[in-house]
Structure formats: C-alpha cells, structure tokens
Amino acid sequence: QVRLVESGGGLVQPGGSLRLSCVASGSIIGIKAMGWYRQSPGKERELVATITTNGATNNADSVKGRFTISRGNAKNTVYLQMNSLKPEDTAVYYCHGNLISPGIWSGRDYWGQGTQVTVSS
C-alpha cells in the first residue's frame, strides 16, 4: 500500500510562515510528480504547486512569489514553504503524488489525508 502523510499545518497570523511536509511510503518504484492542492469550504480543490521528477515546478498564480515547493534528498518527500500568508490561504492542504508501483506502471494518483492551515489574527 502506498501512503502519503502530511504534517506542518496549523494556525498562523497574516504575514506569517508555515512549512508543510509530505512523505510518500509503501511499494513505490518511481515518482512522476508530487505536489500540493488545497480546498476551502464551498470551493473546489485547487492546485497550489507541483514538482516533477526532474525538478520542474509549477505554482498557482495566487501563490507565486510567496510559496516554494521543493523535494527532499530522498525524493519521496515534498515540502511547501509558505511565506507572507494571507487569510485567503486558509484551507485544507492535500499532498498529491503520481506514483509508480508494481503492476501500475503508468502511474496512479494518490492523496494524503490533508492538513489544516488557518491564517487569522
């Protein structure tokens, strides 16, 4: 079984920073891409940032210049450094991975359980 486990959410004041972490574990042969999505009440889940296996990144316009996605040395870990946080960044943040495992050679989407980020004074 493949699992994605997030950590690092919490309550922060506007202008503050948080760092989210996600670790992928289980029967993983390869990683095509990992990333972060978020969902706030009444809204659809939206892309925040992604990073491919060769390090190419893609950020949503709403977070450019404020959020940075990166990978750990072990490549099965992805981070989201969030700076200059705004109240509108409040959401549940989900880790996503398109991962290759035995028998699923084209890759499959996996999701973490989500971590709450609240930006409020």
On whether the CB atoms of residues 95 and 33 are closer than 8 A, the answer is no
Instruction: List 81's β-bridge partners, or say none.
Output: 19, 68
Q: Which of 44, 43, 35 is nearest to 111 (CA)?
A: 35
Round the average pLDDT of the chain to a whole number and report it.
95
pLDDT score for 75: 81
Identify which has the larger pLDDT, 17 or 105. 17
> What SS3 class is residue 87?
helix
Sign of torsion, CA 7 40 68 19? Answer: negative
| Other CB atoms within 10 A of residue 87 CB | 11
pLDDT digits (tens, 9 = 90+) for 70-102: 998 878 999 999 999 999 999 999 999 999 998
